[in-house]
A and B are shown apart, each in its own frame.
Chain A
Amino acid sequence: MEQELIKLKNDASSLIIAAEDAQELTAIKLDFLGKSGKLTELLKGIKKLPEDRRPEIGRLANEILGSVEGLIATRTNELTGKKRESIKKEFLDITLPGLKPPLGHLHLITQAIEEISEIFARIGFSRVRYPEVEWDWYAFESLNFTANHPARDDWETFFIDHEIDAKHGPMILTPHTSSGQVREMLRTTKSQAAGELPNIKMLNIAKCYRRQSDISHSQMFHQFEGMVVGKNIAVTDLKGVFDFFVRSYFGPDRKIRIRPYHFQFTEPSVELDVSCGVCAGRGCRLCKQGWLELGGGGMVHPNVLKNGNIDPAKYTGFAFGWGVERVLMMREGLELDDLRILYSNNLDFLEQF
């Protein structure tokens, strides 16, 4: 038995040393150490030995088992090392093009909308969306527009061929996301329990339409509208939110300023300017005295709150509506010859982003 064990060990050793790849080693391992391997079979015979011989042979057998396993492990390492060496020596042209997984492109507008939503989510604004085909009442009348306001002309706004509704007036394509203001107030006040505060932090991003098509206007475009309504909402809150957005979206190098402006549905009304990224605020042909207009906003007009079933004596709010295309252009400094290229299906353009 002793002899047989030693012979098996020697056979195994020479085979292991001669083995040239992992497969061969696995075969050797199975052949000797497998369920019905040579060494395994031989060890089964230990039981038949006289009792006093068993401990000694047992020890030897374990030793041999250990050394065969050890040899296999060493040889495996050697072979792996050798293989790595030979891979290292192989010629590899790392300048060849890679085999890319499929990769398409999200539209610039989608990319901007995702980022804007993310920024406002950080300060608790929830996204909503309201109809694009809208009643005059939500887009103008409830927002305090006078009956003869130019925006209600059919030179500026698209009208739908539909009977005039007794309550809501003509049907139109909404020219701004502000049509969501009163809708959001009504939705909130309708769903809230008695005595609950109308705490609104809304972000309404949607397609808008105006009757203007030239190099800097597309008849279809996108706006994002923020609105906050609650107890003691003040001009300083509007300013803080504007500042938060600009620092988040445009980065720390751009400055802001807030100027008086005029809108029907806010009072006071303001316009937000961001310092020009091209000339760093010194003034250039792209900006106005170093400033670029971002968009308007203001404190929600009391008549608008009333139309949203919110008591202007108890609650105040602010709102703003800005162009997605506009903030995108202002940040990236993309000098598009014609803004309408965004909606042009031109794949050579769309695949750049």
Chain B
Amino acid sequence: MNIKILDSWLREFIKTAADAKTIADRLSLTSVSVEKLEKHDGDYIYDIEVTTNRPDLMSITGLAREAAGALSQAGIKAEYIEPEYKKVTSNKKLDLEIVNNPKLVNRICAVALDINLKPSPEKISKRLEAGDIRSINNAVDVTNYVMREVGHPMHVFDYDKLLKTGKMIIRESKPGEKIVTLDEKEYMLKGGDIVADNGKGEIIDLLGVMGTLNSAVSDDTKRVLLFVDNNDPHRIRKTSMGLAIRSEAATLNEKGVDVEKAMDAILRGVELLEKIADAKLISGVFDIYPNKPKIQALQILETKINSVIGITIPLKTSWKILNDLGFTPKEIKDGLEVRVPSWRANDVSAEEDIIEEIVRVYGYANLPNTLPAFESGKPYNLVSDRFYWEERVKTAFKYWGFTEVYTYSMVGENMLEQATKDAVVIKNPLTEDRVYMRTTIVPSLLEAVRENKGREKLRIFELANVYLKKAGSLPDEKLKLAALIKGPKLSFLEAKGIVEALLEDLGISGVVFKAAKSGAAGASVFIGHELLGEIERLEEDLIDLEFDFETLLKHVSLKKVYKPTPRFPEAIEDLRFEIGEQIPYEKIVRTIHEQSNLIKKVELLDVYKTKKTFRIIYQSGERNLTSEDITQVREKIISALKKHFRADPA
């Protein structure tokens, strides 16, 4: 959450000669980040990002205390000017009966005043507007001004509107109840919201989030009820998010604001209304305070401080830092005992929290850089490093002309290739096309093809998880390697060649290609009985493949095997046969090999209808081959192919 504040306003609570730039830098480095510092009308605006644990710094006074501590630690003279509020002495009771529910609201402070409703003086309206708050009238402006200065949100009601029933009962909303907020928008409540009821079932306030129109200050307002409510933060969050009303009050209240500040806010509000709205008290301050914060005292050893931070920080320095921040530190044996201020009660509860206070104000920039001293010394084994193989496979695909894509893990029903009940389902998806965790990658690649319709040719791949539902436990996340080739006159062999090259590069041998049994035309690839993956020919110009990366990993190898290089030259001969198209190539090659151990290699040179040309490479490990040797083998090949496949030399 961000807050914009004027330098001149901040300086009402801090005495220092430091300029705005210095204050901004010190705050950024030790406390909250000043994201922008802008010149504004002879003044400066700080635009500050406040972390969710520090709602106390969504205020001028909170920031002034923080800045004073940070500046003085850096050797720049600075002092926090603690505000003092004038007490309200009147004991007069309210004419309104307020009934609290301590489960919902921690504290209510309220006071009734006669006022003269009019625009705010320039000083007030300018300060608000510099902080992106619209000036409305003096009564409403005071609530916003106090929220910014003291740090507790507050509300102002038209007192006479409340007195129509004379009752205000704090309760939970019921589902379906309707309200109209003061910006004239209608909402239907979901139930469980903190509301004020006028005793007749009508809602007169959505506490901590936004006022309602029926009780709001309007042009004819004469009397007001200034009202501070400190609420259960979780209910505020639920209401504010559920109704999408992200008012500043709600963003503060949902973080939990300092309940002790409720009275400060009321008193400061009264002071201001007296000053700018000719206000006169018509009641004393009503204060119902059932839930007081628990104030903790923590003990911390000096050695602990130093070992976590990594350097020696004098205990006196730690003491001063904590004291400046509003803690109450006391030196004890070998350390400090630290009382936590009310505005940090939600946030500081352990030794480590205290160390954080010390180290941040001491300044991270003042610490040296070291590297962790240990090395694990665990042996590193390349072949079992899955990340090595992932990178190697990706790189191989890159150099085979593939472009890597990252598609979403979530898909719509149309891309889920199975029954929706068998898929891992997201309960609260953002869009209908991202509901199911995918169980296969290929549909996402096909979507990529559709989205690049203009491309006649493309090659893409992805290495990503699929998610397989498992009863009673987290789904199986399995890494899959998927690729897709699109191109005119695309041969199945192009995809098969990629797979063959991949397996060779991974050191995987003994792989068998079998005709796919189901789905589209293609091949299933096995190692033994284990399915490695599939190649699918989907369309004339579209082939995809998907392999199980985990199974591939089981078989990868970096083992080096040496075979003596041949000492005698090879003889090469091309043979062409007229042979039935249906006879699988693998069978022919096997038959040729069976004819002689002088046949070192058989390659397919060309296929034309029923004619296949083979290149036979002859080689002996023991001697030079003579033409007689070759003639003998050649004749055996020809007769064997004739016998088994009725093939003829062509």
A interface with B by C-beta (< 8 Å): 101-107, 109-110, 114, 117, 123-124, 126-127, 131-135, 148, 150, 153-155, 158-162, 171, 173, 197, 199-201, 207, 209, 211, 213, 219-220, 228, 230-237, 239-241, 243-244, 257-262, 267-271, 288-289, 299, 301-302, 316, 342-347, 350-351
Contacts and interface: CB of A to CB of B under 8 A. Distances in A.
9 contacts: A107-B404, A124-B372, A160-B425, A241-B372, A257-B29, A258-B364, A262-B54, A288-B36, A345-B447
A105 B404 contact: yes
Given A259-B28, A270-B364, A107 B405 contact: yes
Given A219-B434, A235-B308, A299-B308, A240 B35 contact: no
B634 interface: no
Contacts of B430: 211, 213, 219
Given A171-B474, A260-B30, A345 B409 contact: no
A342 B370 contact: no
Given A173-B426, A201-B376, A289 B399 contact: no
Contacts of B477: 131-133
A228 to B, nearest CB: 5
Contact of B310 (A117, A236, A244): A236
Contacts of A213: 430-431
Interface of B: 24, 28-37, 51-54, 233-234, 237, 241, 254, 307-311, 350, 352-353, 355-356, 359-360, 364-365, 367-376, 378, 387, 391, 394-395, 397-410, 424-431, 434, 437, 447-448, 451-452, 455, 458-460, 465, 467, 474-475, 477
B10 to A, nearest CB: 17
Contacts of A258: 364-365
Contacts of B33: 259, 271, 288
A160 B426 contact: yes
Contacts of B378: 126
Contacts of B54: 262
Contacts of B376: 124, 126, 199-201
Contacts of B30: 260
B372 A237 contact: yes
A350 B394 contact: no
Given A133-B437, A262-B52, A262-B53, A268 B307 contact: no
Contacts of A237: 310, 370-372
A219 B437 CA distance: 13
Contacts of A199: 374-376
Contacts of A173: 426
B241 to A, nearest CB: 6
A243 B24 CA distance: 23
B639 to A, nearest CB: 35
Contacts of A262: 51-54
Contacts of A207: 409, 465
A109 B378 CA distance: 29
A240 B369 contact: yes
Contacts of A236: 309-311, 367-370
A95 to B, nearest CB: 24
B27 to A, nearest CB: 10
Q: Which of B233, B356, B394, B447 has the most CB of A within 10 A?
A: B356
A163 to B, nearest CB: 8
Contacts of B28: 257, 259, 289
Given A123-B371, A162-B424, A211-B430, 10 more contacts: A102-B401, A103-B398, A104-B399, A133-B437, A133-B467, A158-B429, A159-B427, A171-B474, A232-B373, A302-B350
B365 A257 contact: yes
Nearest to A206: B465
Contact of A239 (B369, B394, B405): B369
A243 B309 CA distance: 16
Contacts of A301: 352
A117 to B, nearest CB: 7
Q: Which of B307, B447, B458, B474 has the most CB of A within 10 A?
A: B474
Contact of A104 (B31, B237, B308, B401): B401
B475 A124 contact: no
Nearest to A302: B352
A104 B369 CA distance: 41
Contacts of B398: 103-106
A253 to B, nearest CB: 18
Nearest to A236: B310
B474 A267 contact: no
Contacts of B391: 114
B352 to A, nearest CB: 4
Contacts of A239: 364, 367-370
B428 A158 contact: yes
Contacts of A267: 350, 352-353, 355-356
Nearest to A159: B427
A99 to B, nearest CB: 13
Contacts of A261: 51
B369 A316 contact: no
A107 B237 contact: no
A124 B397 CA distance: 29
A114 B463 CA distance: 14
B425 A350 contact: no
A109 B406 contact: yes
A239 B367 CA distance: 8
Given A133-B424, A267-B353, A345 B407 contact: yes
A241 B455 CA distance: 45
B369 A243 contact: yes
Given A124-B375, A228-B372, A268 B352 contact: yes
Given A109-B406, A257-B365, A289 B374 contact: no
A344 B355 CA distance: 45
Contacts of A259: 28-29, 33, 364
Given A131-B477, A159-B428, A259-B28, A220 B408 contact: yes
Contact of B370 (A133, A161, A234, A289): A234
A20 B193 CA distance: 102
Q: Which of B368, B397, B408 has the most CB of A within 10 A?
A: B408
Contacts of A197: 374
B472 to A, nearest CB: 8
A109 B638 CA distance: 56
A50 B30 CA distance: 111
B356 A347 contact: no
Contact of B24 (A123, A235, A269, A289): A289
Nearest to A154: B428
Nearest to A234: B310
B435 to A, nearest CB: 10
B408 A105 contact: no
Contacts of A133: 424, 437, 467, 474-475, 477
